[in-house]
Amino acid sequence: MRVLKNLFDRNKQWAEKVKKSDPDFFVNLSKQQNPAYLWIGCSDSRVPANEIVDMMPGEIFVHRNIANLVIHTDLNCLSVLQYAVEVLQVKHIIVCGHYGCGGIRAAMQNKEYGLIDNWLRNIKDLYRQHQAKIDALEDQKEKINLLCELNVIEQVANICHTTIVQRAWKGGQELDVHGWIYSIEDGILKDLNVCITNIDEISQIHRIK
């Protein structure tokens, strides 16, 4: 099937619906984007950024990958971060994980998955760091969900350790980094209360003077 007609039909209907409620919506939006938020989330099809927070196009800048990781050598993620912070001047960066994440689950196994094992290694390293706490739990689902939460907290730290975010803070830019987790089972977001807003809140060794 070379043309996915169904999707084009749905697109047309959607554009019509938006225009009906605001005839100038697309015209106005085409002139600029001014999102206040950068969302870093999981690629999981059940965790769509805009829908979860009920936001329209233009309101949220999005980067998604498997298990919402922020890796210091990932040019893709770093480029998104730099553009969002320096050009778009977003006020908030949100790392949003989700319970039952397949990437986290896979990382907790000893199975070989191929190329993606290199990506999941980052989560295995994190598991090793928190192994005692995680292994103390009985239930496998609870173990996965705890690592899902710990992973969000780690990625919030990773964002704050970048020169991009630290330079913004140094320049007096208001920039808050949040850690959230989403439940696929009921559609509800939870704030993990790990928000970082300035350089004094990150570990000493990562502070760039």
Point out which span in 42-50, 51-59, 106-114, 187-195 binds Co ion (CB under 5 A): 42-50
Q: Are strands 176-182 and 60-65 parallel, antiparallel or unpaired?
A: unpaired
Q: 75-82 and 163-170 helices cross at what angle (nearest 10)? A: 20
Question: Nearest approach, Cβ of 11 to Co ion (angstroms)?
Answer: 26
- Neighbour count for residue 43 (Cβ, 10 Å): 13
Is residue 39 classed as helix, strand or coil in its secondary structure? strand
Look up residue 43 and give its two tokens: 């690629």
Q: Is 77 in the site for Co ion (CB under 5 A)?
A: no
Question: Nearest approach, Cβ of 17 to Co ion (angstroms)?
Answer: 29
CA 164 to CA 93: how far, in whole Å? 12
Q: Which is nearer to Co ion, 44 or 154 (CB)?
A: 44
Cα radius of gyration (the chain):
19
Q: One symbol per residue from 96 to 135: x for binding Co ion (CB under 5 A), - otherwise; what is it?
A: -----x----------------------------------
Q: Is 147 in the site for Co ion (CB under 5 A)?
A: no
Question: In angstroms, how far is CA 174 from the centroid of its own chain?
Answer: 19
Catalytic residue of the set 9, 10, 46, 176: 46
Q: Which is nearer to Co ion, 101 or 160 (CB)?
A: 101
Q: Is 46 a catalytic residue?
A: yes
Which residues of the shown chain bind Co ion in the complex (CB under 5 A)? 42, 44, 101
